Every structure is written in C-alpha cells, then in structure tokens.
C-alpha cells in the first residue's frame, strides 16, 4: 500500500494551499493532487493504484473544495459521495481543505511470506501460492499489495484468491501483461522459496450481507476475488440465487472451472455459470456463449440484484452501464478495476487514468458537506 518509489520533487509554484489531514497541516501546490502532496511531505497516506481505480485513498472532505480529475462516481457509492468522500489521488484542492482519514495506516499490516508454488492456470495466468509467517486477516474480495524480494522497488496490487488465510496459505491469480515487470516475473521466473512482502488488506470490494439475487461478472484474472467470495459463502452456508458471467477470449483462457463446479455443487440456491468467449474461432467445438460478456446482462438480470464486477476497467464500465439500464441501483453495484499502477516519480501533476472512458475524462468540483450545508 505504501510506496517504495522515490518521492516527487517539490512542485515549482510558491502559492500553496493547505490540507489539514487528521489535524496535521501540509502544503499543496497548485494542480497537485492531495495524495501527491501528502506523500511528498512524508504523510503515509493510504493509496495503491494512484489512478482512481482502487479506492484505497478514499477520505472525507470535511471542509473546503476540491477539483476532481475523474468521475469518482464509478468507484465511490452514492452514500460515500453524499458524505463528502473523495479520492485523494484524483482531488486537486481549490481552497484550503480539511480531510478526515477513516482508515489510518495503523490498521494495515505488512507480512512476510514465502512463495510455495506457481501453478499454471492458463497460458498467461499463474496461481501464486504463498505461505505466511503470520495470519493475514482480510475479507474475501479485498486485495493486497505485493513486493518480491527480487524486485524490491515494485509494488503491485493483487486480489486474494482464497476465502481466508486460516492455514497461513494465500493464493493470488496473476495474469501476465505485455512487458509487465511484476506479472512477467510471476509467470516466467522460478520463484519458489523466494520471500515476498504482503501489505493489506486493501479495498472495499466484498460481499454485502443481503438476501437479494447476486450477479457476478469477472474478466480474466478478475475471477480471483469472486472465487474467494463464493468459497467463503459456501463455508458460511449462505446461499442466494446467483448468476456468474465469466468473460474470456478463447477456450484456452478459461480456468478454475473445477473450483467453480465444486462451489456450484455445494450451492443450495440457483447457481448459473455462463462463460462467454469473445475471440473463439467460429470453426471451434465451443458450444457455449460467444461475444462480449456484457451482452448477456440484460437477458439474465433481475432488477433487484446486487452486482459484483471484477476485471479490466473497460469491461466494468460497460457492465455498469448495462446493469443501470436494467434497473440495478448504483449503490448495489460493487466493482474492482484491475488498473495498472503509475510510479509516483512518473505521475504528472494533473494525471488521468491509463484506461479512459468518456466519463473518465470529466472533471468536477466537490465541496465539503460542511460548506454545502453552510
Ligand atoms: C485493486 C487492484 C487489484 C488487482 N488485482 C489483480 C489480480 O488479482 N490479478 C492480476 O493479474 N492483476 C491485478 N491487478 C493489476 C496488477 O496490480 C498490475 O497492474 C498488473 O499485474 C501489471 O503489473 P506489472 O508490473 O506486470 O506491469 P507494469 O510493468 O506495471 O506495466 C507494463 C506494461 O503493461 C501495461 N499494463 C499494466 N497492467 C495492464 C493490464 N492490466 N492490462 C493491460 N496492460 C497493462 C502498462 O501500461 C505497461 O505498458 C490489480 C490492480 C488493482 C488496482
Ligand atoms: S490510490 Fe486513489 S483510487 Fe487507488
């Protein structure tokens, strides 16, 4: 969660505003994000992706006004927005501001583990198994930041792929991205016996207690937190009607089918599993669904469903749109976007996400609730 990257040089302008974070006053240069200002001044502000995709930097604006660089409505719930929550990495102060951090750093734990297995799931996804020295407490669906001893300057976020760490074993699904430094190492190098640092838990992607039907949509390695959530539900004997849509390119990109089948067999309510292939050759023997996973939402959805989406940002944006069009309330849509991290040293003062949608480019002003009601 906390950066190993070198700190930014001090921004050029002399005309700084101030941000008071849990009582501590720092300066914020013009156009500087709250997160960059805090990190530059050695405040260990919770953060991970730095591009508005993980909500790790969520904090409450209790006084003042900020300009938001992206539409944070995709990440924060309506309730959060009503209560003045902002993303520090996407907020540039327009006035002096006061910030309340709900999740202080002390709640985070750093644990050292040892890599015990690298299981090939597909041609580009490896299951990383780690034995930890201490038990890591997390909610199924959350993620951790990992740092390999062999790559000490890299910190990358990965969702827990198991329901808990009760036997001091952790599992992560790591998809190799082209030229990816961390994911390349996990998929290409022999790392068994190597030490790895786990920082977390992070994020607010977990299954909310309710009786409503669930729709889960996963793309690629986005199946990791979904499996963790479902395994936990089975363990707790909590069952409700469930539709799981899994988007992959071709048959060779499908994985964890045995784990899903096992969960399905133990599920006492309706459990529908629909894999959808987007690039399967027409001449193949595939009998299942083809196209985009999001094309099947409207046909299968019940409007009172609660939705859990995980995977590439573009898939999540498209799925959110379809869900809302189908009547699912935005407060019942929870998502984890697998965005790429941007090193702080390379983060421009005015940053935009690496994966943009039209709404991502919008910026808006947020005024603290105190000011709004004043
Ligand atoms: C909250 C959160 C949870 C995540 N959970 C998982 C998970 O469970 N499993 C998983 O595999 N990944 C997950 N990710 C993504 C992961 O953190 C890394 O960003 C990813 O593995 C790439 O890291 P890297 O060091 O290999 O690539 P880098 O060296 O950082 O990037 C190399 C190149 O690949 C591009 N790139 C980076 N990421 C992607 C991508 N996702 N798709 C396409 N191109 C990319 C970069 O822009 C760059 O050009 C998660 C991300 C977030 C924010
Ligand atoms: S660090 Fe701000 S949303 Fe991820």
Query: How many whole angstroms from 284 Cα to the centroid of ligand 2?
Result: 41
Query: How many whole angstroms from 354 Cα to the centroid of ligand 1?
Result: 11
Identify the residue whose tokens are 């001090």.
10
pLDDT of residue 331: 81
Q: Is the CB of 52 under 6 A from ligand 2?
A: yes
- Residue 152 confidence (pLDDT) above 50: yes
Predicted confidence (pLDDT) per residue in 267-289, tens digit: 999 999 999 999 999 899 999 99
Report for 21-25, 219-223, 337-341, 359-363: range of highest mean pLDDT:
219-223
Pick 131 or 346 by higher pLDDT. 131
What's the angle, vertex CA 115, arms to CA 50 and CA 224, rounded to 5? Answer: 55
pLDDT of residue 365: 59
Sheet holding 91-93, edge to edge: 91-93, 65-68, 364-367
Pick 342 or 209 by higher pLDDT. 209
- Residue 6 confidence (pLDDT) above 50: no
pLDDT of residue 179: 94
Measured distance CA(102)–CA(83) in Å, rounded: 12
Averaged pLDDT of the chain: 85
Measured distance CA(328)–CA(213) in Å, rounded: 11
Note whether 15 and 53 are within 8 A (CB): no
Query: How many whole angstroms from 207 Cα to the centroid of ligand 1?
Result: 23
Confidence bin at 49 (pLDDT 50/70/90): confident
Q: What is the arithmetic mean of pLDDT over 67-95?
A: 87
Confidence bin at 222 (pLDDT 50/70/90): very high
Note whether 244 and 219 are within 8 A (CB): no
pTM, rounded to two decimals: 0.75
Helix H or strand E segment including 234: helix 223-235
Three-state SS for 155?
A: coil
Identify the residue whose tokens are 């409207």.
298
Closest CA to 207 of 334, 26, 312: 334
Report for 110-119, 164-173, 204-213: range of highest mean pLDDT:
110-119
Q: Is the CB of 55 under 6 A from ligand 2?
A: yes
- Ligand in closest contact with the CA of 70: 2
- Ligand in closest contact with the CA of 1: 2
pLDDT of residue 348: 32
Predicted confidence (pLDDT) per residue in 283-306, tens digit: 999 999 999 999 999 888 888 999
Report for 236-250, 323-337, 358-372: range of highest mean pLDDT:
236-250
Query: How many whole angstroms from 370 Cα to the centroid of ligand 1?
Result: 38
- Residue 32 confidence (pLDDT) above 70: yes
Identify the residue whose tokens are 């921004």.
11
């Amino acid at each position: 969660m906390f950066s190993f990257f070198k700190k930014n040089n001090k921004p050029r302008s002399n005309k700084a505003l101030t941000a008071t974070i849990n009582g501590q006053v720092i300066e914020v240069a013009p156009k500087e994000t709250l997160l960059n200002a805090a990190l530059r001044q050695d405040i260990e502000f919770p953060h991970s992706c730095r591009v508005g995709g993980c909500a790790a930097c969520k904090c409450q604006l209790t006084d003042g006004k900020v300009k938001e660089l992206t539409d944070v409505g995709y990440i924060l719930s309506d309730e959060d927005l009503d209560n003045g929550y902002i993303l520090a990495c996407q907020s540039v102060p327009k006035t002096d501001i006061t910030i309340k951090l709900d999740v202080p750093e002390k709640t985070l734990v750093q644990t050292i583990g040892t890599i015990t297995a690298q299981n090939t799931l597909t041609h580009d996804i490896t299951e990383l198994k780690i034995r930890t020295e201490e038990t890591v407490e997390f909610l199924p669906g959350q993620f951790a930041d990992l740092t390999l001893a062999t790559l000490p300057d890299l910190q990358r976020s990965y969702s827990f792929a198991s329901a808990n760490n009760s036997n001091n074993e952790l599992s992560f699904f790591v998809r190799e991205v082209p030229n990816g430094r961390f994911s390349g190492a996990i998929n290409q190098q022999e790392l068994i016996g190597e030490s790895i640092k786990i920082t977390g838990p992070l994020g607010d992607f977990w299954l909310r207690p309710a009786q409503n039907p669930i729709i889960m949509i996963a793309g690629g390695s986005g199946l990791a937190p979904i499996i963790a959530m479902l395994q936990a539900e089975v363990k707790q004997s909590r069952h409700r009607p469930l539709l799981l849509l899994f988007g992959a390119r071709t048959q060779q990109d499908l994985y964890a089918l045995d784990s899903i089948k096992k969960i399905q067999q133990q599920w006492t309510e309706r459990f529908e599993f629909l894999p959808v292939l987007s690039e399967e050759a027409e001449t193949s023997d595939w009998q299942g669904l083809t196209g985009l996973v999001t094309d099947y939402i409207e046909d299968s959805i019940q409007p009172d469903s609660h939705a859990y989406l995980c995977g590439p940002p573009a898939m999540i944006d498209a799925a959110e749109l379809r869900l809302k069009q189908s009547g699912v309330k935005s407060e019942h849509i929870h998502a984890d976007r697998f965005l790429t991290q941007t090193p702080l040293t390379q983060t421009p003062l005015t940053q935009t996400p690496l994966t943009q949608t039209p709404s991502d480019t919008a910026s808006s002003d947020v005024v603290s609730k105190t000011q709004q009601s004043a």
